């Protein structure tokens, strides 16, 4: 695929064009995404597991990712896999296997360090390193990026300029919610174009959210998929497709279908977020895959028609 940036644009009504009232709304195709990292690499455990010790852990990410690949194959689903550079360096065959099955390879950084704990130079250098590993392994451009724990926040919007410089076509790191680790409340809930003062541009594709009692709530996957009752997630995502007439982005991690993973010593909140309902996640995912249609994020963005652009200036967002 060429490295041309996809454009996502809106009609004056604020809804994507091309989704006609008479159309079969079940035909809306959503983005399925996977953050390829192992259980010991999550941000919640960073204060207890030094990155220098990662090589001492037995990797479970290969087996768990293969389980996801087989599950997607059974449901005829292709997805975007945001692969951590550290994993790509050690598991190149896994990256090639994902790509060979028709899935999109995207970048999840190298070290899973939160961006607001990095300098600009460190962020630039590790993103270059991760992108290079992935592109060398699949021999094609890597167009998508997602920050560790969605850590592009107001004070790290400078990271957008780096992503544009490195020729990423789209990002999925800005969540329009309030959270203790991430989020920029008030940002658009739907894919939009972010413009920089120097004329750069990138598409932002946020994970799914819903509006409840005037508050924007995340419903796009991860821990929320395990914590919320399944009926609530399905209802929220159905409303996006049927009422909003829009595609949504869903995400999960390979370790979320691995209830037998070793337990890490962590605080009450972190343990609750990480371990709750691990045994139910795979079954819920199967139900989700039979209820909604999915494709890689790149494909969802590229098939949407273009009329009037909805832009967001970094200066105004910040």
Instruction: Name the residue with tokens 């041309």.
Output: 4
- Name the percent of the chain in helix, strand, coil, to the closest 5: 40, 15, 40
Checking if the pLDDT of 305 tops 60, the result is no
- Mean pLDDT of the 217-243 span: 94
Q: How far apart are CA 196 and CA 206, in angstroms?
A: 18
161: how many CB neighbours lie within 10 A of its CB?
Answer: 18
- Mean pLDDT of the 232-255 span: 94
Topology of the domain comprising 34-317: TIM Barrel (3.20.20)
Position 176 scores a pLDDT of 92
Q: What is the model's pTM? A: 0.88
Contacts of 315 by beta carbon, 8 Å cutoff, 6+ apart: 197
- Mean pLDDT of the 16-37 span: 66
168: how many CB neighbours lie within 10 A of its CB?
Answer: 23
The lowest-confidence range among 36-50, 190-204, 299-313 is 299-313
Structural domain boundaries in the chain: 34-317
User: For the segment 1-13, what is each residue's pLDDT rounded down to a tens digit?
Assistant: 333 333 323 333 3
Question: Which one, of 234, 265, 251, 228, lies nearest residue 182 by Cα?
Answer: 251
Query: Would you mind telling me the total number of residues written for the chain in this entry?
Result: 318
Residue 105 main-chain phi, psi, to 5 deg: -100, 125
User: For the segment 151-195, what is each residue's pLDDT rounded down to a tens digit?
Assistant: 999 999 999 999 999 999 999 999 998 877 778 998 888 888 888
Position 93 scores a pLDDT of 97
User: For the segment 65-102, what is each residue's pLDDT rounded down to a tens digit?
Assistant: 999 999 999 999 999 999 999 999 999 999 999 999 99
* Burial profile 273-292: b = 16 or more Cβ within 10 angstroms, e = fewer: bbbebbeebbebbeebbeeb
């Amino acid at each position: 695929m060429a490295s041309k940036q996809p454009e996502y644009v809106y009609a004056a009504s604020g809804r994507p064009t091309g989704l006609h009232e008479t159309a079969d709304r079940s035909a809306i195709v959503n983005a399925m995404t996977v953050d390829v990292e192992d259980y010991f690499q999550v941000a919640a455990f960073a204060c207890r597991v030094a990155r220098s010790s990662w090589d001492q852990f037995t990797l479970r990410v290969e087996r768990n990712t293969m389980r996801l690949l087989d599950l997607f194959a059974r449901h005829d689903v292709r997805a975007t896999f945001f692969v951590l550079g550290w994993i790509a360096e050690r598991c190149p065959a896994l990256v090639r296997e994902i790509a060979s099955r028709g899935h999109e390879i995207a970048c999840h950084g190298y070290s899973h360090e939160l961006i607001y704990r990095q300098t600009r130079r460190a962020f630039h250098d590790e993103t270059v390193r991760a992108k290079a590993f992935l592109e060398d392994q699949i021999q094609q451009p890597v167009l998508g990026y997602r920050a560790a724990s969605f850590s592009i926040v107001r004070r790290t919007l400078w990271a957008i300029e780096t992503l544009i410089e490195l020729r990423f076509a789209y990002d999925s790191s800005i969540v329009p919610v309030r959270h203790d680790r991430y989020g920029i409340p008030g940002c658009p809930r739907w894919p939009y174009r972010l413009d920089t003062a120097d004329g750069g541009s990138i598409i932002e594709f946020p994970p799914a959210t819903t509006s409840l009692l005037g508050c924007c709530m995340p419903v796009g996957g991860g821990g929320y998929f395990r914590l919320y009752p399944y009926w609530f997630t399905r209802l929220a995502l159905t409303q996006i497709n049927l009422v909003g007439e829009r595609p949504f982005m869903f995400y999960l991690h390979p370790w979320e279908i691995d209830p037998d993973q070793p337990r890490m010593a962590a605080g009450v909140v972190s343990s609750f977020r990480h371990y709750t309902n691990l045994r139910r996640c795979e079954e819920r995912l199967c139900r989700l895959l039979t209820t909604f249609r999915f494709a890689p994020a790149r494909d969802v963005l590229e098939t949407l028609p273009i009329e009037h652009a909805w832009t967001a200036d970094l200066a105004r967002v910040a």
